[in-house]
Structures are given as C-alpha cells and as structure tokens.
Amino acid sequence: MSVPDNHSPAMATSSSLFHLILFLVFFSFCLATKDRDIYHEIDVAKLLPTGNCSQTKAVAGNSLKVTHRHGPCSPLSVGKLSLSQRLTLESRRVSALQMQVKVGASFEALDFAIPAVSGDAIGSADYVVTVSIGTPKKAQTVILDTGSSVSWFQCQPCLGYCYKQRQPIFNPSASSSYRNVSCETKTCRSLSAKACSGETCLYFVRYGDNSLTVGFLGTEVLTITPSFVFKSFIFGCGERNQGLFSGVAGLLGLGRGPVSLVSQVARRVGSVFSYCLPGQESSLGHLTIGNSNKVTLPKAVYTPMLTHSQETSLYYVNLTGISVAGHLIPMSPTTFKSGTIIDSGTVITRLPHPVYIALRRVFRNAMLKFTLADPVELFDTCYDLSKVKRVSCPAVVLHYEGANVSLDASGVLLAMKDSQFCLAFAANKDPNDVAIIGNVQQRGMEVIYDLGAKRVGFAPGRCG
C-alpha cells in the first residue's frame, strides 16, 4: 500500500514563493532599519523656529519646566537675544571654559579686593527655570547652568548696581526665613577664598565674559515644587550684579562644587539630576532634581563621569569617536585624552580641528544632492533648503565610553536665517583645547548626571 504524497510540485512551488516573500520582506525591513540609522528623514518645517509656544504635559514631583530663554515659551519679556548675539557670547564662554581648564578656577578680580570663586563665562544663558525663594515665597526665573556651582539671586538693596529683571528683586529683609552665613562656618571656608563684612560671609563670582555678582552669602527656603521645599538653601544674595543677565533673577548652579544645588540636596533626594532640552525653542523641556521621582529610563545608556586634574566644577566624559551617516570618523586614539566637557551653557559643540574637518568632509559627501550656501557666523557648512520640503539629514552618533548616543536631527542641522541650515558643530581654535559638548547636541534627550555613581546617562526621545 503506497503512502499518499502530500508534497506535490504545486505545493512545493507555493511554499518556495512564500519563503521568498518572507525573505524579501525581512531584507527590506533590514535595509529600512539600516537607512534610518544612517539618515534622518525629516520635514524641513520641523527644523524651523516658530513664533508660538508648543505646550507639553505638566511636570510633577521634583521636576521643573525648562524653557529656552530667547524663545516664545520664555517667561521673560526682556533680555532676549538674536542667534547672532548668542553665538558671540557663547564664543566668550567657550574661551573662558578653555582657560579655566588650563589654569584652574582661581581667577583674580581686577577691580575688587575679594577673590573670585569662578572663572566661568555666563555666555548666552539659553535655558531658564522658575523657582521660589523666601517666606512668603517669591517666584524667580533663573539660568540653568551646569558650568557653575554658586547659585545666586539679585537682592535688595541694590544701591544702583542691579540690572532689570522680570520679577521684583528679592528683598531678604521681607523674608522671615533669611539668614546670613557666618564667616566661621565650613560653608564660607569652602569657597576658594573668603571675605567678610563683620561676621558675615561675602561671595564674589566673576565670569569669564566680565559679568559678575557680589554680595552676602545666606540661607533661605527654596521651593523647587510644592512637594519639594528645601529649608536651608545656601545662595549668594547679590547686591551688585552686572553683565548680560537682563531679565533673569539670577542663576541656579548645577556644577560639581560643594555649594551647588545638587550637592546641597544630595542627602535628601540623592546626588542625581537630569534635564531634557527641547528640540525647538518653541517647546518645553524639564529639569528633575534628585532621584525620588523613580523615573524609569529603560533606554538610558551611561558613560563614566571623569574628573579633570585642574578643576572640579565641570562635568567630563570620555568621548571616543563620532559616526556620520554610518561612517566612523578616523582619528587618533589620543584625540580626546584630556576628556570632553558636557555643558548646558555652551550652545555649539567644539571639536579638535582635525576631527571637525573629518566630520565636515563625511557630512558634505552625504549631502551632495543639496547645494552649499555661504557660511553663516561660525558655521562653514550651510545649505539653502528654502525649496526643499523634506531632507535626508545624515545621522550623527557620538560614541562615549560604554554609550552610543544618536543625536536628534535638530542637533545636527541648525536653522539659521533665510531658510539656511548649517552643520551645528565647530572647531576649536587651539589644538590643545578640550572638546565641549554643547546644548544643541543635547536636544531631545534626557541627560542624567548621577554624581553618586559617577556617571552621565542619555535617554532618547524624552522631550519635545
């Protein structure tokens, strides 16, 4: 008795065709996935700034809304700058950061007897948050800065030395919770040098662009959110302040120093903070202080936080390479031997000159179907996309030790004037200058500073 043959030629052909279709679908998926890893397909209109603020969901817990100081979401009505002005100021900040790395944070004041505690430059101060200080509490919009450790607010009496700000200037004598810091305290002694007015500790911060703030060191109630109130916040009560701070009430220092905000709240909520800078100036981001929110970041990747031998306020990571459109840029293994600064106050990432030239070459080759336009400001690789609706933007991946971070398209192509878009990187002037990761290259992702674990993390797609 013969066994029936269920595998007829027709069925075999059908089965082969089915497997061929599956293979083609899988192959097409792989190509599409690979293509997405190499290029960002994006509407040009999404890269352009808008005049309207795009509101996002409310923040909660230990989080604050982050707004671009010069965009339509900004709570400030004065002190806004054009992109050209901001880039000029940003160049000063970069120069000051480079000098700080080379000589340490012990700049001396030129016109005061009080030694400065910082050589930082304030730059264009792109991002701001609003907190409250005092009893009763007073809302104050301040600059968010990872490059500074001393937080300060303008204080009455100004004696003719305060600049114009949006909210009323804080008056410590009207707050029941304000206290001066004594000269004999550990806090006062922790400054690089101390000065006193009687028994009261004075502070003086002069930034690299010659902006400055000087006044009394005090403690006050700081309200970050209604559920997060810090009762003994140490800050500078500035009675003489000058520079390019117009509109803001002061600065929130998130550096690594002993009096920074993150250092002060570490025992209560942990020595962690994170922020998400929006991809557009017309969107909102957030700043989260501490780890009590238990935010789950399943896609976060981490790289070790390094410490530079010359100073301890800035944040350093180990950048090991850069890929453009799937191509790893060739570079010497010692290119980033001094570490790389990651900074919220620097706008544009600065790279060693040979690395920038290599990045530019690969980027231009990947953009050959678009016509190069005239250079704009510090950018030498620009394109006129006024007649283009969609652009295939080469993907840029920053390779850190243990972490590969793909940049948002808004961190690669920066919208300039007249529909011109430029490669948002620049070269260092001095071959000995350290590389700096600017805030444009941090857009659209959560950046996590975990001081306890000594690591910096990146989680994609966390804000607008």
Q: Per-residue confidence at 205, pLDDT binned at 50, 70, 90?
A: confident
Q: Are residues 382 and 246 in the same domain?
A: no
Q: Are residues 111 and 213 in the same domain?
A: yes
Q: Are residues 258 and 194 in the same domain?
A: yes
The per-residue pLDDT for 192 is 56
Which among 145, 209, 408, 450 is annotated as catalytic?
A: 145
Q: Is the peptide bond before 333 cis (omega within 30 degrees of 0)?
A: no
Least confident of 48-57, 148-157, 209-218, 229-238: 48-57
In the predicted structure, residue 373 carries a pLDDT above the cut 50: yes
Q: Are residues 285 and 313 in the same domain?
A: no
Q: Per-residue confidence at 36, pLDDT binned at 50, 70, 90?
A: very low
Which among 343, 408, 433, 450 is annotated as catalytic?
A: 343
Q: Give the structural domain span for 89.
A: 63-289
Domains: count for the chain? 2
Assigned domain for 322 exists: yes
The per-residue pLDDT for 28 is 35
Q: Is the dihedral of CA 400, 317, 275, 101 positive or negative?
A: negative
Least confident of 171-185, 398-412, 449-463: 449-463
The per-residue pLDDT for 456 is 96
Assigned domain for 439 exists: yes
The per-residue pLDDT for 167 is 93
In the predicted structure, residue 179 carries a pLDDT above the cut 80: yes
Least confident of 297-301, 373-377, 456-460: 297-301
Q: Per-residue confidence at 81, pLDDT binned at 50, 70, 90?
A: low
Higher pLDDT, 417 or 385: 385
Q: Rounded mean pLDDT of 61-88?
A: 77
Name the percent of the chain lying above pLDDT 70: 80
The verdict on whether 111 is a catalytic residue reads no
Q: Which one-letter amino acid corresponds to residue 386?
A: S
In the predicted structure, residue 3 carries a pLDDT above the cut 80: no
**Structure tokens given for 391:** 């652009």
In the predicted structure, residue 11 carries a pLDDT above the cut 50: no
Please provide the average confidence, as pLDDT, over all residues in the chain: 81
Residue range 304-325, pLDDT digits in tens = 999 865 556 789 999 999 999 9
pTM equals 0.85
Q: Rounded mean pLDDT of 181-191?
A: 83
Would you say 172 and 157 are in contact if contact means Cβ atoms under 8 Å apart?
no
The verdict on whether 145 is a catalytic residue reads yes
Assigned domain for 43 exists: no
Assigned domain for 358 exists: yes
In the predicted structure, residue 15 carries a pLDDT above the cut 70: no
The per-residue pLDDT for 115 is 32
Q: Are residues 340 and 224 in the same domain?
A: no
Farthest-apart Cα atoms in the chain, separation = 114
In the predicted structure, residue 344 carries a pLDDT above the cut 50: yes
| Cα(85)–Cα(55) distance, integer angstroms | 26
The per-residue pLDDT for 348 is 92
127-133/63-68 β-pairing: antiparallel
Higher pLDDT, 351 or 195: 351
Residue 367 belongs to domain with CATH number: 2.40.70.10
φ, ψ of residue 173 to 5 degrees: the values are -70, -15
The per-residue pLDDT for 35 is 46
The per-residue pLDDT for 415 is 87
Q: Rounded mean pLDDT of 96-111?
A: 57
Least confident of 50-59, 247-256, 274-283, 361-370: 50-59
In the predicted structure, residue 383 carries a pLDDT above the cut 80: yes
Q: Per-residue confidence at 62, pLDDT binned at 50, 70, 90?
A: confident
Q: Are residues 385 and 446 in the same domain?
A: yes
Assigned domain for 295 exists: no
Assigned domain for 244 exists: yes
Q: Are residues 334 and 257 in the same domain?
A: no
Q: Is the dihedral of CA 33, 35, 36, 38 positive or negative?
A: positive
Q: Rounded mean pLDDT of 431-436?
A: 90
Q: Are residues 256 and 307 in the same domain?
A: no
Q: Per-residue confidence at 120, pLDDT binned at 50, 70, 90?
A: very low
| Domain final residue pick, 269, 289, 309 | 289
Higher pLDDT, 80 or 218: 218
| Cα(130)–Cα(141) distance, integer angstroms | 4
The per-residue pLDDT for 4 is 43
Q: Are residues 218 and 72 in the same domain?
A: yes
